[in-house]
């Protein structure tokens, strides 16, 4: 528990806003330079081949051996896991329907290292495009439904503050992935939706306490009520965030390649979501409330 706390969070909102805008602009700039996020073959179509080898081979050697084949522009990454055999994932934008041909190319190129084809997966461009639309639709629908829910549970000012915070979290996470040139696949889209839910949960707890305090005869301004509510829920916010952060950090380091970047997205989301619940959602909610109040007067 954090005792005897009386932190003036709202007065620091402008500094936090400048920090957020700076990070978001960096991310948007990276997206513009890179002509969009680094989409996986889930969205653009292509072929993924998973290969294992009983002999130790450097990943750069694999790239060199494939450089004289049609896989010369493929992305080759090493997969870490519990399997004792060395494993690689080869991703190419080529839509290769003949799996026998691609298997032969890899087996011949890596023949000195006892290769074994573990899996070959293909995604067509039409399917990839549909998945792009579905991902955007899912995130957009989630935002709309959450805004409606909060609007009914609280009021439109709480809803607007919550949605601003959620958009803030998604943009920062997407921007960091773009800056690090990390791939966006279906699991990362699932992570974005998880981040939305996590951030909203924390925000609702704070807003609920704000509503309770505003119904009491405390004779405090909106800013003082917000600071009081944030301080009263601070222990819960920190404990919940640290516990969640601990779990996703463990997943990142020992969860294996399959969920590594899903966990990384959640690490960013937990940190940014906690920050936005305090320094974005509440200040924007107060801003919208105060603007309407001024207009009514």
Q: 0.95 cut: is pTM over it?
A: no
User: From first to last of its 297 residues, what are the pLDDT tens digits of the chain?
Assistant: 455 578 888 888 889 999 999 999 999 999 999 888 888 777 777 788 888 887 778 888 888 888 888 887 777 877 765 456 788 888 777 766 667 777 888 888 888 888 888 888 776 666 667 777 777 787 788 778 877 877 777 777 888 888 889 889 989 999 999 999 888 887 888 888 888 888 888 888 888 888 888 888 677 888 888 898 899 888 888 898 999 999 999 999 887 766 888 999 999 999 999 999 899 988 888 888 777 654 444
- 69 neighbors 109 (Cβ within 8 angstroms): yes
Q: How far is it, in rounded angstroms, from Cα 269 to Cα 118?
A: 33
Give residue 26's Cα distance to chain centre. 16
């Amino acid at each position: 528990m954090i005792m005897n706390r009386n932190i003036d969070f709202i007065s620091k909102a402008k500094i936090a806003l400048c920090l957020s805008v700076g990070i978001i602009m960096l991310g948007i700039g990276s997206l513009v330079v890179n002509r969009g996020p680094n989409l996986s073959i889930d969205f653009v179509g292509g072929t993924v081949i998973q290969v294992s080898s009983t002999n130790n081979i450097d990943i750069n050697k694999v790239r060199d051996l494939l450089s004289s084949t049609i896989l010369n522009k493929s992305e080759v990454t090493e997969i870490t896991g519990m399997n004792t055999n060395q494993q690689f994932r080869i991703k190419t934008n080529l839509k290769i329907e003949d799996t026998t041909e691609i298997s032969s190319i890899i087996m011949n190129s890596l023949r000195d290292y006892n290769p074994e084809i573990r899996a070959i997966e293909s995604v067509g461009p039409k399917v990839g495009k549909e998945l792009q639309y579905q991902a955007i639709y899912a995130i957009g629908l989630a935002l709309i439904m959450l805004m409606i829910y909060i609007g009914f549970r609280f009021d439109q000012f709480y809803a607007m503050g919550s949605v601003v915070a959620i958009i803030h979290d998604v943009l920062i996470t997407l921007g960091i992935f773009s800056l690090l040139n990390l791939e966006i696949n279906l699991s990362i889209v699932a992570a974005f939706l998880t981040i939305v839910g996590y951030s909203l949960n924390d925000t609702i707890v704070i807003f609920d306490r704000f509503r309770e305090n505003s119904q009491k005869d405390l004779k405090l301004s909106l800013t003082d009520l917000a600071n009081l509510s944030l301080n009263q829920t601070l222990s819960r916010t920190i404990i919940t965030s640290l516990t969640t952060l601990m779990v996703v950090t463990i997943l990142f380091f020992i969860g294996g390649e399959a969920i590594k970047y899903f966990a990384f997205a959640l690490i960013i989301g937990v940190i940014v979501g906690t920050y936005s619940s305090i320094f974005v959602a509440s200040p924007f909610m107060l801003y919208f409330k105060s603007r309407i109040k001024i207009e009514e007067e």
